[in-house]
Structure 1
Amino acid sequence: MALRMIFFFIAFVRLTSAFSYQTALRSVLDPNSLLTKSEENMKFVKAAMDVVRKKKCNLNICFAVDGSGYMHGKDFKMQLDFINLVAGIVSLDPTSRYAAVQYGRRSSVISRLTRDTKSFLLNVKGTVQQCSSRTFVARGISRCARQLRRAKRGAKKIVVLGDGRSRFQTYGPPRDPVSVSQAFLSDPSHGICAVGVNFRDTSMLEQITGDASKVFMVSDWESVLDALDALVVQVCGAESAAL
């Protein structure tokens, strides 16, 4: 009798775990997104979800969105879908907070730092592309840093997204991307990751992050999920777990 009860309990735990997993998966995904249409892409999503399920992120994250006019509208939409996917996965840890800004010739706030996942996802989904002819990535990093100052606890991470077709411009120090990034990274609980699409030269992104292992390169926006689980590992990394 006792053995039968143990078998019943194990079966129940497995069933409820599978149900919880599928429920979480549905809550994260946009059914209309091109990024999640294939079974291969779903493997990347599940792997990233497992990262968050196994460790607490305790994370404040801000996404800097490339608003360049050299990106096609479909690619800009996939950039937004990717941000919402990462935020949705990170939200499996209820302590996480998220913000997003768009950078181009100027920077603008998409969503202020919040724990309200639904509000964040809707704000990102409704973002209008700036279509800038010049792209100042330092402004995006600086605007994200200001958003993250609102957080009193937890690691603070910036994810910079950039398209290699953009015409990146810069001012001299201290308003150049490297100076702005170094000021933010002076706190050991802070971190920057970069997702670069179709870049021929990654040196700028490596200087921004301060670590080549935190730069994730893909050939096009349809392949951006190739970087998903590795990116989630980085943003939910040692700095986050220690706080």
Structure 2
Amino acid sequence: MTTSSTLDLALRLWPQVRDSGRVDDAGLLDELLATQGRPGAPGYEGGVRGTFACFAPDERSSFTLPGGEQSRDDADARLVAHILVTRVLLGAGLHIDRRVQRAMADAYAVTWTVRGVLDASPLALATSLWLIALDPLQISDQPLAIDWTPSAYQDAERWDLDYRLFSHYDVHQRALDWVAYASAAPGRHPGCSVWTLVEPLLRFDDQRAQIALGQFAGLAAGGEDEGGAPVPAAAMLERARVEALLRAHLAAAR
């Protein structure tokens, strides 16, 4: 449970969406959609209206994910929560809904389209891999529906203001670049369990993703450095679920 009823709903719906691609009550998806563009959503103060508000503007937005990770700060928590809501909507089949397309585009705007070094947290980047995995157009040259007009997107140090055209394929490739980096050595995804990275990658039909999965398996075999913080048993069980999926995937690929 979190302090956000919206995020709690998204997390509650996710297992069914993940495993079957549907929800029993589509009205619950309307509840999630109703939070789009409200105060407290990422970028709202800067004019962004495609993101979901899981927390009130004056609320301390912090939570722990099922895998045991915690958001690193308020902005990170709001972004990760937005991505988690978008993930449910995409996975449930709403990829043709313009609102969901905008939500995905705004998530990409602050994760995969920044200039230079990616500045989103490893947890946000790993979670957003699900959006790519669930996007039917992930390898399409079709431009993303990013509205670059809000003031939140006018920071020339963070974005190339002269280059605003990104396709689904561009994001797919930049994400795989980061995955290759993160899987190459220990310590390259602080604050994010290897298993949070692995699960969406299992749905990528790409050779680089398959190589990264093998490397992540090797890194995980040596144990994860939790920084001395104990991980709850429930989180370990969630990680073990993904480990079993990876083991079966690698065995089938032999």
> Shorter-normalised TM-score: what interval?
under 0.3
Q: TM-score, normalised by structure 2?
A: 0.25
Structure whose alpha-carbon radius of gyration is higher: 1
Higher relative contact order (CA 8 A, sep 6+): 1
Higher share of residues assigned strand: 1
Q: TM-score, normalised by structure 1?
A: 0.25
